[in-house]
A and B are shown apart, each in its own frame.
Chain A
Amino acid sequence: MPLRKDIKKVLVIGSGPIVIGQAAEFDYDGTQACLALKEEGIEVVLVNPNPATIMTDQTIADKVYLEPLSVETVETVIQKERPDGIIGTLGGQTGLNLIMALAEKNILEKYNVEVLGTSVEAIKKGEDRELFRQLMLDIGEPVLDSHIVRSVEEGVRFADEIGYPVICRPAYTLGGSGGGVAADQEALERLLKKGLALSPIQQVLVEKSIAGWKEIEYEVMRDANDTCITVCSMENVDPVGVHTGDSIVVAPTQTLTDNQVQRLRSAAVKVIRALGVIGGCNIQFALDPHSDQYYIIEVNPRVSRSSALASKATGYPIARMATKCAIGYHLDEVLNPITGSTYASFEPALDYVVLKIPRFPFDKFSEADRTLGTQMKATGEVMAIDRSFEGALNKAIRSLEMKTAGLRWPAFMEAEDETIKEHLTQATDLRLFAVAEGFRRGWSTEKIHQLTRIDPWFLEKIKGLVELELNLTCYTWGTLPNELLIEAKEKNISDRYLAQLFQVSEQDIRDRRKELQLKPVYKQVDTCAGEFEAITPYYYSTWRGVNEARPSKKKKLLVIGSGPIRIGQGIEFDYCSVQAALAVKKKGYEAIVINNNPETVSTDYALADRLYFEPLTVEDILHVVELEEVDGVFIQFGGQTAINVAEALAEAGVPVLGTTVEMIDKLEDREHFYQLLNELQIPHIKGRMASDREAYFEALDELGFPVLVRPSYVIGGQAMFLFYHREEAEAYLDHLEQVSDERIWPLMVDRYLPGLECELDLVSDGENVVIPGIFEHVERAGVHSGDSLAFFPPVSLSSEVKRILVDYAERIARAASIVGMMNIQFVVDGEKVYVLEVNPRASRTVPVISKVTGVPLVEWATRVQLGERLKDIAPQTGLLPEPSFYTLKAPVFSTAKLKDVDPVLGPEMKSTGEVIGLGLSVAEAVAKALPEEHRILNKRPGLLCAVADRDKEPLLPLLTRLAELGFSLYATRGTAQFLEKHRIPCTVIEHDLKAVEKVMKGGQVGAVLNVARQGRVPGTFGFQLRQLALTHHLPCFTCPDTLKLLLDSLHVQEQDYRSLDEYRHFTSERVFTQ
């Protein structure tokens, strides 16, 4: 059936902020869906408060509502827009849950909105544990026996029924903690006791354990005519037991016979038919490694992280096709855009190996529990394609940007055997490296298989790489035979890793390769293994054979992407990369994108003119640059990843566009930067660069406390701390020297000034600048800018301060000959403005400001780098006029998913994503940016206060106010004494976690104000208190400024939801509420 003509307007639900488990993949899916609708002439209305996404761009959807994802919002939007249909299977679990809620409340029925694609009944059947189980029994597909138990006895009884071993999963614990496998009754009793105590709702799921089985996934499509196809099969290298989002995944399956592949495929098709899915569906199986027995372990009746991966891995655009199915098309009616000659009912055939490795946040959260289990912990992922498993593995490893260029984790070299064994037995993010280390120590495949349950096929591949490495190191660089170098490159071992092995420079390796004319070739991802000609230039490199990528004669510009999503470098840089590529195309150049993140829009092959799915190391970029003979490279849009390669690219003679590499280096180097500021007579925070221990202590003496300490060249405040005492600063250094594999010097030591922080982004052509706006942070300096609430336009800055900010920005831009983008952060102390730091690149706030002002910041930044002048592009330069509504950017945290990560706000960034709240008043923006906190505080819950001594006095006004507003205060002893002294009534809570948990469980306490002395010290009372608050889903304010802002906004109850257009066209005066 072709396109349905009765659908003219469709509402799409996005997935909201990036959190662990729900990341950039839904921007890719949503963007594809919106475009697939638009090209059919359907009007698209979108709700998604995540400003960093491409999908919320007005070129993607017709009407964008950057409003909270709630039933109320969507109902308002439906009332206003009257869409014919709604699609909720593109917005992750958030979108799915929202659709279900809307259906349950009969809102869809009321406004006659049809659920397009997979129906509500189908979703219910897939999501409801019992319904799904019954359905599987009905169609004769095996599912695991599982039961939610509320007592130890109940658990034991159930285990007796199904037999041991069983797995226990306590409900709603932090990072899935407290779970485990029990082999017998004794172990089960122990686990259940612990699990029931840990679970805030005293529930534990007990299930037959199949840990160690193979985990296999299928991506399935179905249309309304019951045609089903499987797009991709995937095999988890990590067997069952590790969340698939945290597993290394290979596509297609490697260790299954065709018979097994087809049996699982048939089962997948059977399930999707029984559910009645229309569109895409993900299904996960556990397959016994010693028989053909399997179980269905999970079904997601929607597009997912895996479907994004499968789309990039095969070239088959699942979200796009799912959308086409939702609006009536059949799979045999839609052309496959990659080939342009085959249809969407053609199952992709791969002639390469795809590997995905998750990216974990443990480099930032060194104190976190890095063991992997059923709770996903990765923030992002990388994908690599090659014609061999080893090649894909090596590419993926260097794509991770984990400071290792190859299959080696330096810290493991000195580690005890026991440590290596622990990483193997209880999977961690480093297990892959531990496997390699085990082989280096001569351990057998059988031994490592016993410890890890990873299929020997994968282990043998890793062993082969270790053996090759040993073979290589039998030689010196001078004596290394060419054949062996060629073999190493064919396994895609990086130049950098070879350089490390042979103690030579990367340049030496490159020179010899050039002499041998040893360079990679590029092959096309074509969905059909070469059977048909493909028209889409989507390439990956490999080290043998015929090159298929034929550069064009056009002028070509390369945009370097930002790699995997991690804390401090999120989807915002993908937004910038995408906008840059589009701007390049618009100017008539050929846009080439290189990136390695399968979740993102930038790696959609339909976006740029040519896509290279490659690691983002200097070597890999240079290969593309040399093949394409690009005319210029953009490095300002791919976050720190792109900046980090700038110097090496320039050295290799690559034309780097925009601000010169020398200047970037100068701005990133603290000493040079301060020198520049001194020359310009711009005040900066007093700071010292310490190049060794002695200098460090000297700096501490000179600057006095408090101080901020961090290593040079950082992303997102990595390993950055605020110290009030000398002992803390000493302990930090000892710790840093212990854990860091890389050089830690120089360390930057800055005087800490707890003033008001603000920041701005600008575009400069070297002469003029455009500043679309200034962000004012709510939390005082010392809280990482990525974790601060930030207002645009500023709410308290005087016009004089704004003038100074703009003046400083213009002077720095001119002095540094900035061409392109720059982000500057300031601290304002009264009327005095200090410059904190500059980033000579696009920043986290760029998408936000671009969206709310409508200024195409990235496009302008692209054009000035191509030589255009701002006065020819922009209607006006300098600071642009402020809009008449407020935007509040709010960070979103995933700390509840990570055990032992302290949610305390500090100089180290912790948030994984962000939302914005828009309002005509400050209060409205606050209520929308922090809807949960706003709702809870409005109920005037009991508030538990635990405040460090040094903060007690300054907090007196806030505490008084809380009491006046009707909050019942609870306090730990020290704080209680302080409150009593000031006649503020409160209930004293013992300095005891049991007592605290009791009032949390009992509901007396509904929020926590905890201003910590230091934070991030596991084991302390404050740390545990915050972990408890997370476990019980209570708002936990660790910076009083956040709470203060919310208290100021409590009076706003009713909110109105408006499209971005409506806001932008608002002409009425701003409503001041304060």
Chain B
Amino acid sequence: MNQPTAYLLLEDGSCFAGQLFGAEREVVGEVVVTTTMTGYQEIVTDPSSCGQIVAFTYPLIGNYGINQDDYESLTPYVSAIIVKEYSQEPSHWKKAVTLEEWMKQHGIPGLHQIDTRALTRKIRAQGTMKASLIIGRWPTEEDKNRLAHFSLPEDYVRQVSTPHPYQCPGMGKRVVVIDLGMKASILRALTKRDCDVRMIPSHTSAKEIMGWQPDGVVISNGPGNPKHVSHVVETIRSLLGKVPLFGIGLGHQLLALACGADTEKMRFGHRGGNYPVQHVESKQTIITAQNHGYTVTPSSLERTDLKITYLNVNDGTVEGIQHRYYPAFSVQFHPEAAPGPMDSLFLFDQFVEMMKQYNLHTKKGAVPNATS
């Protein structure tokens, strides 16, 4: 295979040389590293990876190709993929196309044959960085300057949110999902529980949402800094107490902001499928899938009506919160898994239960502790 040489130029001026695979296209983005060993298809189709150059720590990627079932969105938003070794002869009964064929179809470039572990260690030491993928030539000073002056867009959510509302009919609870870049698995988890789901664009107003008379509202995952989608914070604030809320990922950060807490950027985030998270009350630990670069500031929760439900065992980051008075809770991790462990799928059951309870008590007011 004669692939052109390509280079990953990092913000700090360092450069990794490897070989190009996938589409032949130069891109700029933010390099993030995921430690998930399987599930590359879900990761590269997750709208949360919008604008990201995703590097995999697991060295062999592409082993089972791309199949029809494991997409998290139909349009991928990932900027580029970095792997140690692209597996050129995939094998799986479900395989539709190879990863590389799929990348070419969608114009996604990839870089392989680089020391991804060295890249990981660099990012661990220096934090997440901007980077450019440059093809066929050693990066110049100009490339470095351009990268230095490149500012990451702030409108990722607008890029990935559905432009129009759409419906997935079901016989159960009516759920509105504020689509900030929702993974399809969230929809799968809801429809599996018979929910009647309506996906709506991120800029939809609270009034409009309540107009559909939902039993509950899910604030989805999505890319970028929660503070760049302040209009959604407003929407959530208006919905709080009027309808059960369930936030996931970005949705969790937005619920926190809506309740007066703060968020901050992490050094290099959590991206993987092996994070132990402890339920504060039962002390039981579950393993979760995570994919976030921002986090809720723990101290900022003190002056809010939020309480912590889940904590990360390793570094103590806030993994779950719940409103003390209103039916609203959220988790930083991904209960819908895909990729990652399915330990926390039960949170969707809790959400359905919360909606049921809220309907029963709706005339009596708020339901405390619906999730505990």
Residues of A within 8 A of B (CB): 225-227, 229-230, 252-259, 261-263, 265-266, 269, 289-291, 330-332, 341-343, 345-353, 387-389, 455-457, 460-461, 464, 523, 528-533, 544-546, 548
Contact = CB atoms under 8 A, between A and B. Distances in A.
Contact of B314 (A257, A265, A343, A351): A343
A265 B285 contact: no
Contacts of B287: 229-230, 345, 347
Interface of B: 33, 35-39, 41-42, 57-60, 63-64, 67, 69-70, 84-85, 87, 89-94, 113, 115-118, 120-121, 124, 272-276, 278, 282-287, 313-314, 337-343
Contact of A347 (B41, B274, B278): B274
B84 A252 contact: no
B58 A546 contact: no
A258 B285 contact: no
Given A332-B278, A529-B117, 13 more contacts: A229-B285, A252-B37, A252-B58, A253-B38, A262-B340, A262-B341, A290-B93, A331-B285, A347-B276, A388-B60, A530-B35, A531-B35, A531-B120
Contacts of B339: 258, 262
A232 to B, nearest CB: 10
19 contacts: A225-B282, A226-B284, A229-B287, A252-B37, A257-B41, A331-B276, A332-B278, A346-B275, A346-B313, A347-B287, A351-B58, A456-B89, A457-B64, A529-B117, A530-B124, A531-B272, A545-B117, A545-B118, A546-B115
The 4 A-B residue pairs with the shortest CB-CB distance in the complex, in nearest-first order: A545-B115, A258-B39, A347-B274, A345-B276
Contact of B35 (A341, A351, A523, A548): A351
Contacts of B60: 254, 353, 388-389
Most chain-A CB neighbours within 10 Å: which of B285, B313, B314? B285
A348 B36 CA distance: 10
Contact of A349 (B42, B87, B274, B282): B274
A523 B90 CA distance: 27
Given A332-B278, A348-B274, A529-B35, A262 B59 contact: no
B37 A350 contact: yes
Contact of A262 (B57, B58, B275, B342): B342
A548 B121 CA distance: 10
Nearest to A269: B343
A257 B70 contact: yes
Contacts of A464: 89
Given A252-B38, A289-B93, A456-B89, A353 B314 contact: no
Nearest to B114: A545
B92 A255 contact: yes
A996 B360 CA distance: 81
B177 to A, nearest CB: 22
A1067 to B, nearest CB: 54
A346 B314 contact: yes
B93 A258 contact: no
Contact of A457 (B63, B94, B120, B342): B63
A674 B272 CA distance: 65
Most chain-A CB neighbours within 10 Å: which of B41, B69, B283? B283
B91 A255 contact: yes
A261 B342 CA distance: 10
Contact of A332 (B64, B67, B313): B313
Nearest to B42: A258
A350 B343 CA distance: 20
B73 to A, nearest CB: 16
Contacts of A342: 314
Contacts, number: 170
Contacts of B342: 262-263, 265-266
A261 B35 contact: no
A10 B69 CA distance: 51
**Interface of B, helix, strand, loop or mixed by DSSP:** loop
B37 A257 contact: no
Contacts of A261: 37-39
Contacts of B118: 545-546
Contacts of A331: 276, 285
Contacts of B33: 530-531
A531 B93 CA distance: 33
Nearest to A346: B276
Nearest to A490: B113
B175 to A, nearest CB: 23
B59 A255 contact: no
Contacts of B313: 332, 343, 345-346
B134 to A, nearest CB: 20
Nearest to A350: B37
Contacts of B283: 225, 330, 332
Contacts of B94: 257
A215 B300 CA distance: 49
Contact of A345 (B117, B272, B285): B285
A266 B57 contact: no
Contacts of B58: 252, 349-351, 529
Contact of A387 (B42, B84, B273, B337): B84
Contacts of B35: 349, 351, 528-531
Contacts of A226: 284
B272 A349 contact: yes
Given A252-B37, A258-B39, A229 B272 contact: no
A204 to B, nearest CB: 33
A514 to B, nearest CB: 22
Nearest to A229: B287
Nearest to A263: B342
Contact of A256 (B42, B64, B117, B286): B64
A29 to B, nearest CB: 23
B274 A332 contact: no
A257 B64 contact: yes
B59 A349 contact: no
Contacts of A351: 35, 57-59, 116-117, 120
Contacts of A389: 60
A457 B117 contact: no
Contacts of A529: 35, 57-58, 117, 120, 272
Contacts of A388: 59-60, 84-85
A341 B341 contact: no
Given A289-B93, A345-B276, A346-B275, A353 B38 contact: no
A460 B285 contact: no
A531 B124 contact: yes
Nearest to B67: A257
Given A256-B64, A257-B67, A262-B337, A530 B41 contact: no
A261 B89 CA distance: 20
B187 to A, nearest CB: 16
Contacts of B90: 457
Contacts of B67: 257
B118 to A, nearest CB: 4
Contacts of A259: 69-70, 338
Nearest to A339: B314
A530 B89 contact: no
A253 B58 CA distance: 11
A263 B339 CA distance: 11
Contacts of A253: 38
Contacts of B341: 262, 265-266, 347
B59 A346 contact: no
Contacts of B274: 346-349
A263 B338 CA distance: 11
A343 to B, nearest CB: 5
A395 to B, nearest CB: 15
A544 B85 CA distance: 12
A533 B285 contact: no
Contacts of A291: 93
Contacts of B337: 262
B67 to A, nearest CB: 7
Contacts of A341: 314
Nearest to B84: A387
B89 A460 contact: yes
Nearest to B125: A533
